[in-house]
Structure 1
Amino acid sequence: MTSFARGQRVIGAATHYVENQPPWRVDVDEYALNAPLGAAMRGFGAEWAEDDLRAAGVLVGSGPFQRDAHLANVHTPLAHAHDRWGFRLDEVEYDPSYHRVIAEAVARGAHTSAWADPRPGAHVARAAMFMLFAQVEPGHACPVSMTHAAVASIEGSPWVADEWLPRLYSREYDPRLIVDGGKASALIGMAMTEKQGGSDVRAGTTVGESMGGHAYQLTGHKWFCSAPMSDGFLVLAHTRSGGVDEGLTCVFVPRILPHGMRNVFRIQRLKDKLGNRSNASAEVEFDGTIGFLIGEPGRGVRAIIEMVQRTRLDCVLGTAAGMRQSVAEAVWHARGREAFAALLVDQPAMTAVLADLALEYEAAMLAGLRLAQLFEAEASDRDVALRRLATPVSKYWVCKRGPHHAYEALECLGGNGYTETFPLARRYREQPVMAIWEGSGNVIALDVLRALTRDRESGEAFADELATTAGSSAILDRHVERTLALLQRLAAEPDEAPSQARRLSEDLALAFQASLMLRHAPGQDADTFIAARLGEERGAQYGVLPSGTDAAAIVARH
């Protein structure tokens, strides 16, 4: 053993000390720290929900919840087609962490609270609760969203609604597939897409033969079945009755039939997805599967459209939630990391990027909450017309912005951001699904055109919405004028319209967001957003803000 003189430094006693690394962002109140969300709740008339949102904010920001979010994405679902003796099982096994996450979301009404207690502001409050949970663990939000949205399709069919809606409204969570007895709660999935059709649901080949009454027997396959462990599913099939084709029909397929037997629901395999890893998506086959009519025979698209509108809204909310996580993690890192003798957050180039990311989040969040407000129980006919157009417009643009936003935030963390031990790598893989689910870019942009051509009132309601802030910003006024002129030109030249559908959708979305920022965000934030997105100094990348912007003040608010 080598001896050293007293006071001599021991070389090799420690390899290094960890310095200049921000602490773990844990045990934080995600609602209290999100000042723009709190302000929006009060602005949209849902301040009565703040106590519940604060409690949820503490929960989702806690160490145990964050660990469950991590584990649910590391230990991904497993499909079990058969049991050990070879009998069909068709079950999906999830890590216990996933069940804990979704149980907390259901307990706090992130799924159907707006339906169960339809008071003013209920849909706004539910949207905020949904975003708090989706901010930390997004995969579980898929069945939560579909359960919320399915109510709109099911409620008009009492032969299904009378039994199932009380179960959907329950705040209990029971993951078991019970044969011997019923359970008080239920979650809903859906199976629309087939391998040969994709977004063209009319190209499906699944058929349903009438069994009399409201029952059909289904044969076919679905290429994407979302949340295959759910208790029931909305399915599209071409139905026949008495040898007569009825057309594309929506049916409700329960996993457990009324007499207690398992329905035929063959899980072929789970998708190996880029992101959304905690949530299972499956290929399934129907072979004598029993389903019950939703709506009218041959009117399947009409029966499902209100559900689709609400899941598209949740795509906006889910993307905004991801943007909030990205902003929160990037700002936290910049405030705790020093480079070149100064904190990152105080360095102008970084401050500009963080401020721009924060503005993008706020505009997305406001769009989502305004849409939620349009779905309130007391919504007027004008509100309904506005949401027909504003929903696909916002879904198109906000969800398109999600992946790049996540990437830019990830880059703020440098190499740490690119590792799976930090949450932004997972978020970067997660955001694209919101742009694909419920209609990818072209499908949504063409739906915008459809809404404008089939429902003139939707375009008029959108123009009225933008008129509420006319005169508040010269930049926005010029943009709105150009956008409405483009809309009128495309209406007069329908052959050109499809090739310009994306341009029109983007322009409408930016006008909608800018108007909302003027109404609900601080003046500096609104003016900066408008100038950065629509002004002469706008840039193609985040961090290109107009000269003179107080980026530090914007970051401080977030």
Structure 2
Amino acid sequence: MDDLPPFETHRVENQPPPFEPRDLWADDVVLREAVAREGGDAFAERLADYGALAGDELYRLGFDANRDRPRLRTHDRTGQRIDTVEFHPAYHRLMEAAKTHGVAGLSWHEPASGAHVARAALSYLHHQAEAGTGCPLTMTHAAVPVLQREPALHEWAAKAAAPHYDPRDVPIADKPGITLGMGMTEKQGGSDVRANATTATPRDDGMYALVGHKWFFSAPMCDGFLVLAQARAGLTCFLMPRRLDGGGKNAFRLMRLKDKLGDWANASSEVEFTGAHAWRVGGEGRGVATIIEMVMLTRLDCMLGSAAEMRMALAQALHHARHRMTFGKRLVDHALMHNVLADLALESEAATALSLRVARAVDAAASDASEAAFARIATAVGKYWICKRAPVFVNEAQECLGGAGYVEESILPRLHRQAPLNSIWEGSGNIQCLDVLRALAREPGTVQAVVRELASAAGMDLTYDVFVERLQADLPFAQEAGARMIVERLALALQAAVLFRAGSPAASLFARSRLGGEHGLAFGTLPADADVAPLLARALPA
């Protein structure tokens, strides 16, 4: 203690160095392999650029964007109604980086083979740095193909896809790029959107006037919003602009911002429509059918977001454990911690692999009916399971850091708050499971697509083969009360199939633990004789 400066009580030591800057692309062997395997390798250079940016500047900006939350200003200083939301500058920089690099539009403004896979990887990288901005980005991306089919809305589709971000509250004619939000759920309905009560009355100019409310209205500073309302023929989809062509404010009011558990960088609101002007998107009474295509894309991003949260939590846990000394050796070298970290790495790899496989199916859906059918069912399966796994995964990673993982200087508390969102957003777990049952019963192509996918890994592992045989025997008898169990088994089998086909060193251990029953109910319960060193070595460069 004699060499300490005056008034210092102790040395600060045995602390891990800062996590950032890290190259999130170069660090992630699993992601790089998945992108190449699923057809997105032509975009590797662009992904490398964004991985470096996300793990440095954007990672740091994420803390600022979440620390200083959005503020609602309903009126200006003179008492004029303005209904605006103010954000920290970090939010706008995050949005600018994402939009210009293609997180919200690469699939549409560069529609080459593999573009959906590359866009999925961009979203995965961005979500690790800051998840809240993912909400307007994914909604903007998902709305484009629906708007492209409406001749009157081609400008909206083109500017939503464009690699430009412009946060100004002006008509879209004055902007090079725009963002889009959605408003579906109401107080009385929630997931049951057919119970929506908002009305849409035709106007003489071809537009409609909306009167009603939305209980969740995300990203309220977007330039336009896809909303559901009751027209004469039933529930219908509409595009409601924030600003009218002449520059005037449209007739809706932001009532308040939601005080959310997480997702703090982004604003979510409650809104009332008081005769707001909107264009019809799709036919009257076809609102649900119109929305379904967008929902498949946003559900894919829920999978990607949860997989990204797992990845960042795993990276944080490994980084800490490799630098922290406990009881005479590095934390990572303790056998039980070794098991926990390897188990997390196994779960993370499976989540990422399946998410990118679904992205390839989306990429090929327009030209391949079997891939379209696979995307249809695997999106719901993956959305259910991967999003369910994220909260418990993040909590386990927090525990690897101990108390340091519970304080805000770490990103883990933010991930912990964020993790439950994707399992709720775009249809909760029960909705996903019912959707899977509906597809299996009514769309024979989805059954064939699943069987074909599972057969692609047949003969590679006995445990896998036995599991799949029993699963396929049970599929025709799936009932609502057992829907969660059948979807969970489907998810595990699909994850295993991807890992085996990829030749992943994680595949056999995944089958042994997840399919063969050699695993407990908590992470860190892999078989004691499992060789997990290769799994950890590939999880994060030392």
State TM-score, norm by structure 2.
Answer: 0.97
Superposition deviation, residue 65 in structure 1: 2.5
Residue 508 of structure 1 pairs with residue 496 of structure 2: no
Q: Which residue of 2 aligns with 1:25?
A: 19
Q: Which amino acid aligns with 2:275?
A: G
Give CA-to-partner distance per residue, 1:43-86, whole Å, 9 cap, x none.
11211111111111111111x32221001001000111111121
1:11/1:149 CA distance change after superposition, 3 Å:
closer
Q: Which amino acid aligns with 2:199?
A: V
Q: Which amino acid aligns with 1:311?
A: T
SS at the partner of 1:27?
coil
Q: Which residue of 2 aligns with 1:403?
A: 391
* Separation in structure 1 between the aligned mates of residue 5 and residue 219 of structure 2, nearest angstrom: 57
Superposition deviation, residue 153 in structure 1: 1.9
User: 269, 280, 284: which is aligned to 2:267?
Assistant: 280
Residues 99-498 of structure 1: matches in 2 within 5 Å? 99-160=92-153, 162-178=154-170, 182-212=174-204, 214-239=206-231, 245-376=232-363, 378-490=366-478, 497-498=479-480
Give CA-to-partner distance per residue, 1:381-437, whole Å, 9 cap, x none.
111111111110110000000100000001000000011110011101101000000
Q: Which amino acid aligns with 2:468?
A: V
1:290/1:543 CA distance change after superposition, 3 Å:
same
User: 20, 28, 32: which is aligned to 1:34?
Assistant: 28
User: 523, 530, 541: which is aligned to 1:542?
Assistant: 523
CA contact (8 A) 2:145 2:157 kept: no
Q: Which amino acid aligns with 1:276?
A: D
1:477/1:214 CA distance change after superposition, 3 Å:
farther
Residue 49 of structure 1 pairs with residue 49 of structure 2: no
* Separation in structure 1 between the aligned mates of residue 103 and residue 4 of structure 2, nearest angstrom: 57
1:14/1:306 CA distance change after superposition, 3 Å:
same
SS at the partner of 1:224?
strand
* Separation in structure 2 between the aligned mates of residue 447 and residue 397 of structure 1, nearest angstrom: 13
* Separation in structure 1 between the aligned mates of residue 207 and residue 150 of structure 2, nearest angstrom: 13
CA contact (8 A) 1:337 1:344 kept: yes
* Separation in structure 1 between the aligned mates of residue 59 and residue 488 of structure 2, nearest angstrom: 35
* Separation in structure 1 between the aligned mates of residue 246 and residue 513 of structure 2, nearest angstrom: 61
Q: Which residue of 2 aligns with 1:59?
A: 53
Q: What percentage of aligned pairs have identical amino acids?
A: 46
Q: Which residue of 2 aligns with 1:4?
A: none
Moved over 2 A (4+): 7-13, 64-67
CA contact (8 A) 2:519 2:525 kept: yes
Q: Which amino acid aligns with 2:164?
A: E
Q: Which amino acid aligns with 2:179?
A: L
Q: Which residue of 2 aligns with 1:494?
A: none
CA contact (8 A) 1:313 1:395 kept: yes
CA contact (8 A) 1:36 1:521 kept: no
Give CA-to-partner distance per residue, 1:334-390, whole Å, 9 cap, x none.
000010111011111111111111111111111111111111155401111111111
1:555/1:214 CA distance change after superposition, 3 Å:
farther
CA contact (8 A) 1:367 1:394 kept: yes
Residue 527 of structure 1 pairs with residue 508 of structure 2: yes
State TM-score, norm by structure 1.
Answer: 0.94
1:440/1:12 CA distance change after superposition, 3 Å:
same
1:254/1:22 CA distance change after superposition, 3 Å:
same
CA contact (8 A) 2:227 2:238 kept: yes
SS at the partner of 2:419?
helix
Residue 554 of structure 1 pairs with residue 532 of structure 2: no
SS at the partner of 1:413?
helix
* Separation in structure 2 between the aligned mates of residue 183 and residue 148 of structure 1, nearest angstrom: 17
CA contact (8 A) 2:437 2:483 kept: yes
Give CA-to-partner distance per residue, 1:89-136, whole Å, 9 cap, x none.
011110001101111011110111011111111100010011101011
Superposition deviation, residue 259 in structure 1: 2.8
CA contact (8 A) 1:533 1:539 kept: no
1:421/1:11 CA distance change after superposition, 3 Å:
closer
CA contact (8 A) 2:235 2:287 kept: yes
Superposition deviation, residue 538 in structure 1: 1.8
1:547/1:271 CA distance change after superposition, 3 Å:
same
Give CA-to-partner distance per residue, 1:507-557, whole Å, 9 cap, x none.
1111110101111252x3111111111113121111111232122221111
* Separation in structure 2 between the aligned mates of residue 430 and residue 369 of structure 1, nearest angstrom: 21
* Separation in structure 2 between the aligned mates of residue 213 and residue 200 of structure 1, nearest angstrom: 31
Superposition deviation, residue 258 in structure 1: 2.3
Q: Which amino acid aligns with 1:375?
A: V
Q: Which amino acid aligns with 1:249?
A: T
CA contact (8 A) 2:144 2:161 kept: no
Residue 87 of structure 1 pairs with residue 85 of structure 2: no
SS at the partner of 1:549?
coil
* Separation in structure 2 between the aligned mates of residue 10 and residue 542 of structure 1, nearest angstrom: 42
Q: Which amino acid aligns with 1:456?
A: P
* Separation in structure 1 between the aligned mates of residue 29 and residue 172 of structure 2, nearest angstrom: 48
* Separation in structure 2 between the aligned mates of residue 10 and residue 115 of structure 1, nearest angstrom: 61
- How many residues matched? 538
Provide structure 1 residue ranges, at least 5 long, that are not aligned to the other structure.
Answer: 1-6, 240-244, 491-496
Provide structure 2 residue ranges, at least 5 long, that are not aligned to the other structure.
Answer: none
Give CA-to-partner distance per residue, 1:489-521, whole Å, 9 cap, x none.
23xxxxxx1101111110111111010111125
| 406-415 or 539-548, larger mean C-alpha shift | 539-548
Superposition deviation, residue 17 in structure 1: 1.1
SS at the partner of 2:233?
strand
